[in-house]
Structure 1
């Protein structure tokens, strides 16, 4: 504080003449450059520091006002350079305030005693009855939260992670709050115990209590009209607006919470959107989206999920309290008015339609439809692989990442086809073969774990899973050799040889991180052996696992290639390799043609209903084209056709390359 000095007696007289007062003028410190003429009607108590005041701020409508400190009670505050602080009805107490802030028409901003600013708050996720509580903190990622919530059986791991979080929380606990540089707080009521990062805008908020707003000058946070938040953390690049409510909640990076959305005991991670509805005890992994007033997300784990209007999940049938816990694996969608009775588990990239009153488990059947008809849950395995919407979603997610590239806490692997989904496809394929073998081909419907599979769906599912497995394995083996110089068969075998066994076996989705369970178990072992002792160590190790994804993927793919095709990589022949590529070409073209056909449905004649409201058929078609465009020029359709052409050329190129190698 060497740049500050105690205020002089003649300066005190000037401030008094401008309506200022102090319980003890000997506790007011200023700089030589502090323009005291800009300090008007200010009451000082405790120890205060005031920096240089010059320049002006521009308000909505183009109005410019000189920077000043006016009509405010300051208690134990340090004010940065060039503030505009005006009309604080009660006081600002125990805050360090950065440079170039704008605080106008506010009720109270204060910290009272030691405060951790939302860090260390316990949040009951996934199961509203408790038992999966996590401690939120500024550095919480989807992966750390996943381990805390779902690895309760690894008690040492959970205890160690909680210890690290408590250690971090203790390190930031303070009796002094912080308001960063370039912060705007305007027309806001109550702010108590809130740490406010650089560049934050708080406009017309109602109440903010015990929280952290982790904004930066390049990744700003906006808190808007009527927002009420208690025991909360909001991460960078996010916004909360329009009377939304947060209670015991964590909002990750790049999220949008708006239009009266209500969140209680929930955590939302990267690029989630919550509008109109409500969430209770929800673990919303990356890209969970809900936009409708009548939609309730409750006591579940979600990610890459789109909730339709009126979606609901619950179970109040148990006398000892509700069993509110369910999982919708990545990419699941619900249609309007859908219902799932918890506990249930929905497989990845599955569309849920209707109201399901059985405890279904479709987790081994990715890319499916789960459709209710006459109170039965019909499973249509692999049907979503034909949907152009599935591919469009996978393409759009990376493009809609709102996070700054240099600061991304959540690890997100966007791959649609991965060992995680393909492993499930192999499991689903096995189940379908077993059902067909045991039950024969005479039945029209088969019962499987509280679900019904029609005979036609079973046979189509077998076809779809075989097709997608061929596509994935072809992708993997082509990627392995595409950029390699291969002159002999021995060169080919060496390139294809796996470098380790890590990656073989089951793969899991750790809320965005796709990895073999063996790699995650090695990580867990390190934590339990105290080899990873800080949150920074944990984050670094999880990123290392992610960085090795393609190495692990190939180790897994080799194992499947050998079992699925009945060959050995160590002795693979040219013909065996070429056969895999030929199957890949056929699968790619087949799937793309299905997508093309699915896309064409949106341009069929029956979809023209409602267009050209007052005209004839010709005018209706013209109106449709002006709004929806022409099928042949649709960007997704064009990409499908280009994809077929590119992949056929790539397959031919690789086959020619392998044919030329020497035995």
Structure 2
């Protein structure tokens, strides 16, 4: 337990920075004055008459000569029943009240204790019982706040050390693994890609050392920085606000504690934090919403994300445009567009690579198959563990894996994308239906792409987040699927093998996969030939849409020239925080960090932006290389007739996608079990809406018409 120290009252508000940490020739205010560089002629000391009036209004100070007020306007009558200690500077005042929503308070300082702080122009400070070492910007409202404190070694949520700090006190985020083996230093502005680099390449000691270095050099180790409240921010009915940097236009109400946290907020992307929340050792991005009993400790919440309804986020990073409600997330790295809404879902020690959704009762990352807390789970984008799914360490899932309710008692390595994965309990086997989303739920698959794009609220989209379901990463997984199927078919009897490869054969048998589940039971792949042909069709469609876009952006002649002269090879892409980066470019980025060519996080982020600007062309090249590999015909031999054939086929595929979208949605209107709760079709339509009015289907109809026009126009050019 700490000791209660007794010191002279006149020293209250002074010696904020211990003398041994002050640079020669500097006083305890030098960093404060850098943070708030108000010109020297902005303030003046109080007059004797003003001091006398202030005292008569119930105000106190141990040293009135250190209370300064604005030369542009000071009204003593608007400071009542307050105490001032140390150097206090008070901004411009006027006979006004300030208003935010239904809260209306007189400008000035009332029933508050202010210690060594700067107060901006036209602020309303009411019943702030203790505020020490703060810079409060203009037009701020503070009402009914218990404690607002700042330590001389405050880090504001960043994982850095200040002069004299014990190295053991440094804050780390222990991500992807409960034993801390993938820990990173959090910092304001950290992106999902940064965390991916730091957590994945642990064997590269030089890289790990450099990442620590550029993080440390990003911040000053000096003591004496003040907490900051940005312009037009409102804080009311809160208990403890300590060691914070809060941006402008934030709205904070009813919180229990915000300690060692940076809250980013601007007028166009303001952040709100609501009742009963406790945030400790973290970073909150722009435009976030945090409400109703949230507990977050050692965390980063990226921009335009939400924590709600008692969510617990501990030792975790949550990417942009994500939502977590009610549930518990521990030691996890979650890329953008993650959704988790249910009170009984649990996510631990996982890397989830975006556009994911955790259903009720899902338990992901349990380590009950091991006594050690060092297991991990990794899932590609589009990961969707269904109701009451239990998954264990160590497991890995390809993109758009959908998992059926059940306890999965063994480690899994699912390498085929768009799969439905289920336990066949009766026959004690694992069953995988590849391409499930395209075959049985096209509506949900394509609607998610549209939804994620629409919900990307970033104001500055200088990183290209890939939301398309058919993209370099998923296409590469389709090629891996061909290898998986080909290997499994090779193990079949001769007659079955011949039947599979026979173009005319309607091969309906299942095949068995190897090295998928850490058990002795069978792993069955359903409809292998159907998905083999489906993935080939999708790869051709992917390439054709890229060709179409290239010609519209460039020209048919430029396409012909590139096809004739360029050598295309299919690259591997890495999902780096929802930005797809060619593997060779990512390796170059890593080498440049190690060689100090990239010497700051600003430099690293600029490289992300450069790679984003190049991505669409990289995607085009990848699509051409993929098609070339698929058809076994070099691009130099692709003539106009071949392009026309691709366009006709792509138009058929687009029509099939649109038809499947409507068909899979129509099932909800045709099922007798769906309809049984309604007295009539008319009542059902009144409740859920008409199928013909479905906005997503209507948008797809429009998109198909536009696609038909684009293809028709291009075919005319090729004649």
Q: Is the 8 A contact 2:366 2:390 kept in 1?
A: no
Offset of 1:498 from its aligned partner?
Answer: 6.8
Distance in structure 1 (CA, Å) of the matches to 2:486 and 2:659? 26
3-state SS, counterpart of residue 225 of structure 1? coil
Kept after mapping to 2: 8 A contact 1:420/1:508: yes
How many residues get paired?
644
Distance 1:271 1:485, change over 3 A: closer
| 2:142 alignment partner, one of 79, 103, 106 | 103
* Cα separation, 1, equivalents of 2:492 and 2:317: 44
Q: Please list, as runs of the form range in 1=range in 2, the aligned pairs for 1:358-437 lying within 5 A after superposition.
A: 358-362=410-414, 364-374=415-425, 376-386=429-439, 387=441, 388-403=443-458, 405-406=459-460, 411-437=464-490
2:692 to 615, 632, 648: 632
- Supply the distance in 2 between the matched residues of 1:376 and 1:98 (Cα, whole angstroms): 64
Q: What is the deviation of 1:445?
A: 4.6
Structure 2 counterpart of 1:581: 647
Residue 82 of structure 2 aligns to a residue whose secondary structure is strand
Q: Does 1:481 align with 2:520?
A: no
Corresponding position: 1:38 with 2:78 = yes
Classify the secondary structure of the residue corresponding to 1:359. Answer: coil
Shift of 1:482: 3.7
3-state DSSP of counterpart to 2:112: strand
Distance 1:597 1:115, change over 3 A: same
C-alpha change, 1:171 and 1:655, in structure 2 (3 Å) is: farther
User: Partner residue of 1:250?
Assistant: 300
> Which residue of the partner structure matches residue 346 of structure 1?
397
- The residue number in structure 2 matching 1:66 is 106
Is 1:590 matched with 2:640? no
SS at match of 1:169: coil
Of 574, 580, 594, the match for 1:508: 574
For 2:322 and 2:222, locate their aligned partners in 1 and report how far apart those are by CA, in whole Å: 27
Shift of residue 453, structure 1, vs aligned partner: 5.5
Counterpart position of 2:63? 24
Taking a change above 3 Å as real, the CA distance of residues 585 and 96 of structure 1, as seen in their structure-2 partners, is: same
Taking the aligned partners of 1:611 and 1:172, their CA distance within structure 2 comes to 67
Whether the aligned pair in 2 keeps the contact of 1:45 and 1:75 (CA below 8 Å) is: yes
Matched, 1:357 2:440: no
Query: 1:102 deviation in Å?
Result: 0.8
- Structure 1, gaps ≥5 residues long: none
Q: Is the 8 A contact 1:31 1:51 kept in 2?
A: yes
Alpha-carbon separation, structure 2, partners of 1:51 and 1:481: 60
SS, match of residue 116 in structure 2? strand
Quick check: 2:296–2:314 contact (8 Å CA) kept in 1? Answer: yes
How much does 1:140 deviate? 0.4
Per-residue deviation, 1:257:
0.5
| Structure 1 CA distance for aligned equivalents of residues 60 and 335 of structure 2 | 52
Shift of residue 417 of structure 1?
A: 1.4
**For residues 332-376 of structure 1, what are the alpha-carbon distances to aligned partners after superposition, in whole Å with 9 as ceiling and x for unaligned?**
1121111111211111112111222221111x3111111222153
Offset of residue 410 of structure 1: 5.9
Displacement of 1:105: 0.8
Residue by residue over 1:56-75, the C-alpha shift from the partner in whole angstroms, topping out at 9 and shown as x without a partner, is 12366x46432120111111
Larger CA deviation: 236-245 vs 377-386: 377-386
Seen in structure 2, the aligned counterparts of structure 1 residues 173 and 628 have a Cα distance that, compared at 3 Å, is farther
- Note the alpha carbon deviations across 1:167-224, whole angstroms, 9 max, x for none: 2232786431111111111010011111111111110100111111111122111111
The answer to whether the 8 A contact 1:378-1:453 is kept is: yes
Counterpart of 1:603 in structure 2 is: 669
Cα deviation for residue 25 of structure 1 reads 1.6
Displacement of 1:15: 1.0
1:177 to 224, 227, 247: 227
Moved more, 599-608 or 339-348: 599-608
Shift, 1:598, TM fit: 1.4
Q: Which residue is 1:52 aligned to?
A: 92
For 2:314, the equivalent position in structure 1 comes to 264
- Deviation track 1:224-282 (CA, whole Å, cap 9, x = no partner) reads 10101110111110011101001001111001101000111011110110100010001
C-alpha separation in 1, matches of 2:256 and 2:103: 25
Is residue 488–residue 511 contact of structure 2 (8 Å, CA) maintained in 1? no
- Structure 1: distance between partners of 2:84 and 2:456: 46
TM-aligned CA deviation for residue 500 of structure 1? 7.2
Equivalent residue number for residue 622 of structure 1: 682
| Unaligned segments of structure 2, at least 5 residues | 1-39, 160-170, 498-508
Instruction: Compute the displacement of 1:554 (Å).
Output: 2.3
Q: Equivalent of 1:12, from 48, 51, 56?
A: 51
Q: After alignment, is 555-564 or 603-612 more displaced?
A: 603-612
> 1:621/1:229 Cα in 2 relative to 1: closer, same or farther (>3 Å)?
same
Could you tell me how far apart the structure 1 residues matched to 2:559 and 2:327 are? 55
Q: How does 1:511-522 map to 2 (within 5 A)?
A: 511-522=577-588
**Are the aligned partners of 2:432 and 2:526 in contact in 1 as well (CA < 8 Å)?**
no
Change (3 A) 1:427 1:445: closer
Q: Which residue of 2 aligns with 1:119?
A: 158
Q: TM-score, normalised by structure 2?
A: 0.85
- 1:493 aligns with 560
2:151 and 2:547 map into 1 onto residues whose CA distance is 62
Report SS of the residue matched to 2:574: strand
Instruction: Report the equivalent of 2:6.
Output: none
Counterpart Cα distance in 2 of 1:142 and 1:195: 21
Indicate the residue corresponding to 2:197 in structure 1.
147
**Change in 2 beyond 3 A, CA 1:642/1:65:** closer
